[in-house]
Structure 1
């Protein structure tokens, strides 16, 4: 099986034509997102302009449409990317058969990109092994607590930033293991650091702006049931000129994580063990516990799906007859429903 480490993907994509299939999965949402973006960018550079996206989620996944897409010629380009978003990481019997058939005789005009948020030894099977033989598999395993400082330092250096050990530790303490939060802080630092090497005082002054409404506090407010705070923060973010797509990665990651925890709780699993596996720090476990009591598994899965609808609106592709045309309004409806069950009526 051709398995790639995340840090080797860019070099591999630059050194060879795109392979017929890429399976990118794992709990580190940022790594999955950036790896998938790299494949899409490579496709564009190689003249592949057509892209079809299929969301495989819920109890009745539409694998028939996926199978038809494999067989149908692209409408606007000789080659196309067929992207399957499979949050749970398991295609089921029908999906596994369709993917294995694809791998046995990959259509010459299709590059298959599969992304998944969950992955373990139990998720893979003959279908993933077959895809691995014709393509690449990249698993974004969780960055362990003792690896976080090194990850932050490497990403800062890649952005032209330098920081001493205590400054890196200060940022690690702030983001509490959340790579997306770390990445967004580093992007902000790249604009503010002005070429200087950051010590701990400079780091704290640049990243600790309590007046700034940020996406991390927004998600915390929703999980803590603070509907009024959610509305106020969204208004603040919009007023600061933030764009909805910039917020969705973090929101989607947290809602998918909550859906996973809800599934564990519903089947009587060890929630504390899952908190540890998901690297949810002690300071945030109480908020998750309260949030899980407000909604059942079906609602959490719906919240995760609704963020996909928000993404389509933000990108100018609303679902006719269903979605509002304002992405901010759609996002507010989802997060208010997360915070307060009485707001579920807003989702229709």
Structure 2
């Protein structure tokens, strides 16, 4: 039976871990938190050794042969181990599907297998995911629909010891506009700022930042996540509020520099640590790195320098002055959508 991520998170703390878990879906926060629940349950049950298998460098898939060898090699340090397989595309390929299916046919008693996927649809599953379902649990993080968001927010508030009336919950839902990460961040802030009283609309209005202001952090996240339409909408909001392009570019350039360094890394897991990329943001970077290679990221950095020059009134010799906002939009749309890169070439 397919579970919701929140159901799986409750399940793993109720008893011994099962031999295998699959957590997948297009909603990164729900995937991450369900996977974190499995990891926390493993630690609570004395499972402290963890091995991670994911695509590295130019590889499109994890090292399946290495994973199978590890299945058959007893641990020197622990009696039970947690094996994580990370599939950003949600597709293990023929060899990976075989390896996972064979594991599930005769699961070793000293291994719990956790498979996570950053992309999922009804067509992604197959015999390998059915095999996981037979011996373990499958949780799919489908996007929270607009009419479901107030319920999701109310449940999360309650889990944090907070109470809010219906109108206050709806206000928060309207402000975050479907962004679960933004909602989670606002709820954590509410936990710090509220004093335990029932939150009504007036109090919620005082405590919650207006997420419709489209701050630069969410702007960059939208570009990295491939959400071109949201990028354009956010830029219009920022421009309307009187923000200045140079004030935004510092963070944009830092994110592009991080992506460029990750694109050149041989071991992405180590690179995430070196660049101090939070676990919650790693799926976003993985999606972005699938769209562009290192050379393209370098090109984006060069274009960011050009946007800075335009914003400071220093157009190229022989060219008419340009609108810095339009130049920034072209850059971020190219980051979000590879086909939009041609917009950069027009004015290069």
TM-score (norm 2): 0.66
Match of 1:229 in 2: 248
Instruction: Give the whole-Å Cα distance in 1 for the aligned partners of 2:132 and 2:246.
Output: 44
Residues 158 and 18 (structure 1), Cα distance of their counterparts in 2 relative to 1, 3 Å cut: same
Task: After superposing the two structures, state which structure 1 stretch, 87-96 or 57-66, moved more.
Answer: 57-66
- Distance across 1 between alignment mates of 2:170 and 2:105: 48
Deviates more, 1:150-159 or 1:163-172: 163-172
Equivalent residue number for residue 12 of structure 1: 11
CA shift digits 1:181-228 (9 cap, x unpaired):
111110110010111222223222222279997843553587679686
1:33-182 to 2 correspondences below 5 Å: 33-56=32-55, 59-182=60-183
**Equivalent residue number for residue 216 of structure 1:** 218
> In structure 1, what is the equivalent of residue 278 of structure 2?
248
Q: Is the 8 A contact 2:49 2:81 kept in 1?
A: yes
Matched, 1:293 2:334: yes
Runs of at least 5 residues in structure 1 that lack an aligned partner in the other structure: 236-243, 263-286, 301-339, 342-348
The 2-side partners of 1:5 and 1:220 are apart by 25
CA contact (8 A) 2:88 2:283 kept: no
Summarize deviations over 1:13-69 as a string: whole Å, max 9, x none. 233311110011111211111111111111111111100111237535422222222
Q: Give the whole-Å Cα distance in 2 for the aligned partners of 1:230 and 1:140.
A: 33
| Matching residue of 1:185 | 186
Deviates more, 1:221-230 or 1:164-173: 221-230
Cα RMSD of the aligned pairs, angstroms, is: 3.8
Distance 1:215 1:294 in 2: 15
**Other structure's SS at 1:171 match:** helix
- Matched length: 269
Which 5+ residue runs of structure 2 have no aligned equivalent? Answer: 225-230, 236-244, 255-273, 293-327
Q: Residues of 1 paired with 2:118 and 2:283: CA distance?
A: 9
Kindly report which structure 2 residues correspond to 1:282-321, keeping only aligned pairs within 5 A, or say none: 291-294=332-335
Q: Structure 2 vs 1, CA of residues 245 and 177 (structure 1 numbering), >3 Å: closer, same or farther?
A: farther
Structure 2: how far apart are the matches of 1:189 and 1:214?
Answer: 21
| Structure exhibiting the larger radius of gyration computed from Cα positions | 2
TM-score, normalising length: structure 1: 0.66
Provide the C-alpha distance between the structure 2 equivalents of 1:249 and 1:172, rounded to a whole number of angstroms. Answer: 25
In the other structure, the counterpart of 2:201 is: 200
Residues 1:170 and 1:249: Cα distance change in structure 2 (over 3 Å) = farther
Offset at 1:167?
1.8
